[in-house]
Amino acid sequence: MRLFIAIQLSEEMKAALLESMHSLKKLGVKGRYVPGQNLHLTLAFLGECPDAAPAKAVLEQLPYKPFRLSFSQAGTFGDLLWIGLKGNQGLSALVRDLRAGLDQAGIEYDRKAFRPHITIVREMGGPWQKLPPPKGEMMVKKVSLMRSEVRDGKRVYTELFSV
């Protein structure tokens, strides 16, 4: 099964992103827009795993304190449009401790440098620069182990466990 560890966004944060996405569509930005229910912040992408139990065990041992998360600038990675998140000590410590736990458990994950962002459009084209980032913030109180699968041609994310 395909797994990742993420912070699920509050309804307020999702609503702010959906409003921005609607504005982008009105400006003529084309692409594959991420469905509202799939908006999240990936902390670690694990990929294909035969069993979720080792990742669950890492999360059970993960020490972290609640912290605030808020939007920053918009940006792109190639044709992928994202909204960034302001860096903070709570988020940095969470990612550092999570990756250390995954390393200690011998769990493979995507080791790219962590750049906190939420993907909103894939295969994007158009004048995205005209739109400022949305306003919104939330208190992060849980981290989730998520499964990603395709059902009826659509990507579906399911929470398997959270701390």
For the chain, the domains span 2-147
Q: State the alpha helices, DSSP H only, in 27-140.
A: 53-60, 89-105
Give the helix/strand (H/E) hosting 160. Answer: strand 154-162
Instruction: With cut-offs at 50, 70 and 90, classify the pLDDT of residue 39.
Output: very high
CB 24 within 8 A of CB 121: yes
Round to whole Å and give the CA distance between 24 and 26: 5
Distance CA 59, CA 64 (A): 10
**Which tens digits make up the pLDDT trace of 105-158?**
999 999 999 999 999 999 998 777 767 889 999 999 999 999 999 999 999 999
Asked whether 124 and 118 are in contact (CB, 8 A), the reply is no
pLDDT, tens digit, for every residue of 70-112? 999 899 999 999 999 998 999 999 999 999 999 999 999 999 9
Write down the CATH number for the domain with range 2-147. Answer: 3.90.1140.10
Per the prediction, the chain carries an average pLDDT of 94
pTM of the predicted model as reported, rounded to 2 decimal places = 0.94
